[in-house]
Structure formats: structure tokens, C-alpha cells
Structure 1
Amino acid sequence: MNVQDKPKGSRERTLDEVKAEFMRRAGKLNPFEDIKREDAEKVMAALKNLDKDHWADEWSKIGHAYEAQGDALAKNSGDRNTLRELYMHAFDACRVGRYPSPVSQGKLAAYHHSLRMFSKASKYFDPPLEIVEIPFEGKKLVGYLQKPPGVANPAVVMHWGGVDGWKEDRLRIAHEIMKAGLASFTIDMPGSGENPVLYGDPLAEKIYFTWLDYLPTRTDIDGRSVAVWGGSFGAYWAARLAFTAKDRIKGAVFHGGNVHYGFQKEWLVPAFTTGGATYLFGAHSLLEARGRAMGVKTVEEFLEAVAPLSLKTMGLIDKPSAPLLGVNGKLDDQAPVDDIYLLLEHGNPKSAKIYPEGHHMGRTPGQPADAIATMIVAWLKEQLTR
């Protein structure tokens, strides 16, 4: 079994609980909304335990079957829409195979499969998706650019997710951005996906500045009119850039993240033990996913690694910032809403949307799936068109 040392009291779901919860979400709820129920039923029936490689292998079988169908159809110049759907089903299955984070060899293999499948699917996207690669410190950075049809030199929203939602997972958000006449440029936060540095690496912030240097070199977008949007554990970087890149960005969205209180022991120990309710496998897998992003294993190591990242400790929160919108649910058990209040209480005036019955990222039972994204995009467009 691929089991990491767990913090004392860590709550984990049993196999039967995981199966029931997955079926409750399959085809409906993030992050499994694109999984077909028949595929979910097949995998749940095949699962004998919660070994990470076993989970990855069963989901990869589903993904490979869809990929084989797509490859066969592609050889015969098949229908583009059908090809896109087949390869996206393949991607979605392998994406779930690496969920929430590739902390075992099997999950890492599933992630690499998902990248290949996404690349195949992207050839049939409309609007087209461009895979952008630029050099960085002897390695490379990878981003996905999509432009709204019929808009010349659109302003740009550069956006990213957290420890489990990576750039391939943000197509719905990219669609909302392009509907507003803005270009979507999505990347992986440090410590996730294809980002070559860890979350707390001294080079992590430089990655964002490197992209901000690159975007103005393009002639097909307005790379000097850029706003940023970070989600979940990646929201920290959007808030930080609001201060450190305030003259280079038009606005920043801090969506469901941490800047100070969420990095403290008083918050993190419960989050890694009894919290993390939205995580399929339970709170411990939240520690595993965040720990991988930070390059650590234990709660103690994590606490030590994140402490210096606090914007309060860094002395940033009282400084001037770019326009900043904080968004979250009052009931979030992964990121404290108090971090939004902290930002509001310091520095220049900022904006906020707090969902009183909302959970992580503000998600509220009964709320339309795209309501929060639509609200955020409207705010971003306002900043970018001033």
C-alpha cells in the first residue's frame, strides 16, 4: 500500500465511503463533473482497496480505452467533435487517476497519460488552444493560450489553480473568460503540474514575472493589459502579485486561498486532520497534495515551510496593491475566510465577495455551477477595460 505517515487523528474515508461519495459526485460535482456514471460504476466495482497505484491503474484503463477509440478514428479522419470528446473522456479518466496529486508512481504515470491525451484533444478545440513553451532557468515553462473569436488584441487573464486543479482542468473558466472578450492564459502554480519549481522555492515568484515579461512580446494579444486569478492554494500567488507586481497587472483575484491565517498551526492542524471535507479521500490527502507542492511530508515540515510565506510576515499587506478581489465561502475548511478580511483591513481599499453558506471557493449548495466564475470574470473585465 502507498501510505504516507498521517498526522494523529487524521480522518480518512473508508473504501465504501469513497465509492459512495464518488458516485454522489460523478457527472455532477467538481472535480468529477465530466466523468460518465457508467465509467465511475465500472471503476468503483473494480476497486478492491484504496492503494494509490490501484486507483490510478483502474482509471487509466478507462482512459486508455477512450484514447484507443480516438486514435482509430483519427486514422480515418473522423469527426472533429467526436475526436475531441473521446480524447477528453480519456483525459478526464486519467486525470481522476492522478487525483488529487501524483504522490505515487502509478498516479504520476496517470498524470503523464492525461497530458498526452489532453494534447491530442486540444488539436480539436474551438477556439484553438496554443501550447506555449518558454525557457526558464535551464528548464521550461508551459502555458495554454486561447483567444476569443473576432476580438483583435484582447486583454489577458492569466489564471491557475491549486494543488489538485491544474491548467488542463480550467477549460470551463477559460470559456467564461473568452465569452467576455478576453484572452485566457492558464498555467500551473509552483509545485503543481508542469511547473518546474516548488511552491516555496525562491524562484517561484520569478515564474510569474517571466510570464509577465513574455506576454507583451506577442502581437496577437494585449500583453500589457493583464489581470491574474489564482484559485485555492494557488490564490496566494495572485494576492502576492497584487503587491509585488502592482504596476504590471490591472487586477488580481484571490479565490479561496491563504495569505496568513491559513498558514498558521491553529488552522492547518485541524485542516489536515478533521477538515478537508471536500477531499474525496479525507483530510490526510489534503496534506499529501499540499506537501507534494511544498516538497515536504509531515505537518511539522509543512508548518515550517509555509511560515515565511505569510504576506503579513513579509510586510506586504500594508503596502499599496493593484485592485484585488477576495472570494470565498464562510464555511471553507481548507482556506480561512479571515484571510480575506485581513486583506480588507490593511493597505488600500479592496473588494470582496463572501458567500455566507459557501464552502471551499465559495461553492454553495443549489448555486448554479458557473455563478462564481461569471461574477469574477465580470470584475476582471471591469479592471481590464478601464
Structure 2
Amino acid sequence: MAAPGGKFFIEKNMKILAPHHESFKQLWETKWKKPAEMGVYPFMFSTDSDFAPIVSELVAKDFKEPYDWDAYASTFFPQAKNLTSIAKEAEKKGEIEKASEYYLRASAVYRIARFPAPRSEQQRLAWKLGKAVCIKGLGLRPHPVQEIQIPHTHRLPSEGTTIPVYYLLPSTASTSTPVPLLILFTGLDGYRTELAVWMEGWRQNGVAVMVLEIPGTGDCPASASDPTSPDRLYTSLFDWIGQQEGIDQKRVGIWAFSTGGYYAIRAAHTHADKLAGVAAQGGGCHHMFDKEWLDHVNHLEYPFDLADTLAYKWGYGSDIELFKQEAKAKFSLVADGTLDKPKCARLLLVNGTEDEIFPIDDYYVALQHGAPKEARFVKACKHMGEPEAFFVLLNWFYDLFGIKANAGKQMSTIPFRAKY
């Protein structure tokens, strides 16, 4: 812990039970209803009316922790299938804009069904079906997003052969006029199907965007339990990027969200020569693995069982206690020497000071090791420092890439508004 007295900066809040852990009804009313109405995380590409019948059923059946994940996920399927049917019918009629919207709305319902991670059979099915309708919807847009399978050339035999990414290249990109590339690292529960919400805004500003999942989530081929697997993953990734003539190789950056921040900090040190800059928003590097921290996070800010989800993500399955015992020594970027490497890309650390998912302590630790770094902490804000942090980050990237853009205008592309 980095606070005086060997404590966490939010020590005083760590034993308080957040209301949304009492029941799904409380989760919806106190945490999810407003973002669902706004069409923002985790309800990208959706409208709250799509969730009304699902919420009614989950509340009527009094769903609460510990969740039966198969029963939970199954509740979402009828509505997701209904929205998909509307999309297919619209596509048959040539109503492409309507079809795109409904495919994406269906993907959002499947997303919350598999949230926070596809740990059960029905959640894994929701992930599979959600991917299919999401790329269908994104592919029907005026500037279609592509899904590319990048060869994982540096993989171990036990790892996947390709890296699935979403990719959107501005039409202005060419050998003579290469554009910047922003790589988005996803988080614990938001995958490429969700973080694609950022792609169109960046395209409008002449920036190519790539979105990929971190180890242990989505379809990432890297080993979840091997601390060195991200190094191989990103070497394969940068090999492919280096072959793209429309990309300005001197203007490649990473913006990582939440758990992805851990991997961004690592990449800034292991692949510094490939990057103009890296921003880690809401991530961690060391104390995020403290047993004292993990013992409390299941009842704090995160909507579900955070420690359990992290254990699953890092390859421990349901063995939460073993994860708590081993994770810090195995994955800490202080313990493995990453943060003390002499070379580091330009690195910006951003978070809210009251983060209850990953401790702000970790960014204090990062600033005390190795090469100098930049930091911006948003006072009295929780995880990721939203929404103020987004404006800080957008303007930082505009400067990094040497482009002129308006952060407010770009942020206006994020909330979803149903047209049909």
C-alpha cells in the first residue's frame, strides 16, 4: 500500500458494502439504470427499453449473488433473438441503417448476458452469438469495421494461432499520406465488441483504430496464466502493424482501459521503440494483486464478484484463494522488474483517486520506479476517473498525434441513441 501508515488510499471505504451487491434489483436501480438510459458503458449500442422485460424478469425472480450464471444469461436470450430477427428482416428489405442498429442492439443484450465474463455454458453461447451480430452491425455502417485475424507468429505451441482485432482505417490513409494508429486494449469485461464504440469518432479525426482483447478475456490467444505471454502477443501485433503502409509508424499509440492498463504499462516498457505514447486509464501494476485488496473488492464498486472474475481471467478458474496467494509474486510489474527497466515509452497514468476496482496506490508505485512518467489523477472520482478523464486523454492523444480535434465533439459520438 502506498498511503501513509501502510494503508490503501481508500482504506476507510473498504468495508462498506455497495448497495448493488444486495440484489439485481439494486444493481439496476443504483448503478445500471442511468447508463442504460444514456447508452454508455456497459450499455454501448443499446437502449434501456431493450432491457425492460429482462430486468422485470430478473427482479421478479429475485436474482442476487451468488448468481446462477446459466440461469442469468438465459433470461436475456429471447430479447436478443427478437432484436436479431428485426435486424434480419430489415436487411432483407434493404433497410441497411435499421438493420445495423438492431444487430448492434442485439449484441448489447448478449453482452450483458455474458457479463462480466463468459464463465458458464450459456454465457459462452451469449459471447459467441453477440460477436456475430456485433460485427454484422458494424459491417453495415457507412464506414464498416473489419475483423482481421492477425497471425500470432511469436506464439508458443499451446497458444492460439491468430489475434482477432477490429480495425477501422480512414479512407485518407495511403503510402503517401499515412495516418496515426490508436490501439485500444480492452478491459476485464468490455471486449472488442464494446470498445468499438470509440472507433468512428477517431476515424472522423483521421486516426486508424484497432481494438483487441487482453490475455484471459474474449478471444485473446495469449496464455492467461503466463506472465510473459503479452510480450509475445504484442511482438506479433507490431510485426503486422509494421507491414501496413497506410499507418505512420512514428505515430502509433495505445489507450488501455481498466485491466488493460496493466498490459499497457507492460507494453510501454517491453515495446517502447514501437510506440509514440501509451495511456493506461484505471489500471494497476502491483497492489491490485494484494490479498488484502482482493479480500474486499467483491463488495465494492464493481457490479459483480471482481476477485472471482480476476481469478478466472488470470487462468485460475474458480480457485480464488490460490489466485490471492500467488498472483502478486507472479504478475506484479514491480516484482518482475518491468517498472525498473531503463527504457519506457511516453506513458500517461490516469485514474480516479477513489477507485475501488484497482487502487490508485498502484500509480503512485509506478511513478516511483524506472523512467519518468506522466500522471493525471481525478479527485473524488472512482474507477477510470470518468467522465473528466476522457477529455484529458483525448486532448493528450491529439497532442501526441499532432492533430487538431475537439474532444467534446468526439465524446458526443459515444452515447447511443436509437433511431428506429
Deviation at 1:294, TM superposition (A): 1.0
Residues paired across the two proteins, number: 366
Q: Given the alignment, which residue of 307, 321, 326 partners 2:329?
A: 307
Q: Given the alignment, which residue of 263, 267, 281 partners 1:237?
A: 263
The equivalent of 1:26 in structure 2 is: 36
Q: Given the alignment, which residue of 356, 360, 366 partners 2:379?
A: 356
Alignment partner of 1:331 is 2:345: no
Q: Which residues in structure 2 correspond to 1:1-386 (within 5 Å)?
A: 12-21=21-30, 22-28=32-38, 30-32=41-43, 34-47=45-58, 48-50=61-63, 51-78=68-95, 80-136=96-152, 137=155, 139-151=161-173, 152-201=177-226, 202-223=228-249, 225-272=251-298, 274-275=299-300, 277-279=301-303, 281=304, 285-296=305-316, 297-303=318-324, 304-318=326-340, 319-363=342-386, 367=387, 371-385=388-402
SS of the equivalent of 1:121 reads helix
Provide Cα deviations, 1:154-209, integer angstroms capped at 9, x if missing partner. Answer: 11111112110111111332234334321111101111111123433242321111
Kindly indicate whether the alpha-carbon contact (under 8 Å) linking 1:255 and 1:328 is maintained by their aligned counterparts in 2.
yes
Kindly indicate whether the alpha-carbon contact (under 8 Å) linking 1:215 and 1:224 is maintained by their aligned counterparts in 2.
no
Distance 1:55 1:24 in 2: 21
List gaps (5 residues or longer) in structure 1: 1-8
Kindly indicate whether the alpha-carbon contact (under 8 Å) linking 1:325 and 1:351 is maintained by their aligned counterparts in 2.
yes
TM-score by length of 2: 0.81
SS of the equivalent of 2:339 reads coil
Distance 1:35 1:52 in 2: 22
SS of the equivalent of 2:248 reads coil
Alpha-carbon RMSD across the aligned residues, in angstroms, is: 2.3
Deviation at 1:382, TM superposition (A): 2.4
Distance 1:307 1:141 in 2: 28
Distance 2:246 2:278 in 1: 23
Q: Which amino acid is 1:356 matched to?
A: K
Q: Which amino acid is 1:142 matched to?
A: P
Distance 1:306 1:61 in 2: 42
- Rate the CA distance shift 1:255–1:46 in 2: closer, same or farther, 3 A: same
Deviating runs (4+, > 6 A) in structure 1? none
Q: Percent identity of the aligned residues?
A: 25
Q: Which amino acid is 2:266 matched to?
A: R
Kindly indicate whether the alpha-carbon contact (under 8 Å) linking 1:23 and 1:41 is maintained by their aligned counterparts in 2.
no
TM-score by length of 1: 0.88
Distance 1:265 1:298 in 2: 14
Kindly indicate whether the alpha-carbon contact (under 8 Å) linking 1:191 and 1:294 is maintained by their aligned counterparts in 2.
yes
- Rate the CA distance shift 1:211–1:112 in 2: closer, same or farther, 3 A: same
Provide Cα deviations, 1:63-104, integer angstroms capped at 9, x if missing partner. Answer: 1111111111212222x2111111111111111111111111
Provide Cα deviations, 1:321-378, integer angstroms capped at 9, x if missing partner. Answer: 1100000000000111121122222223211110002110112xxx4xxx53342132
Residues 241-250 or 198-207, more deviating: 198-207
Q: Which amino acid is 2:133 matched to?
A: M
Residues 139-148 or 232-241, more deviating: 139-148
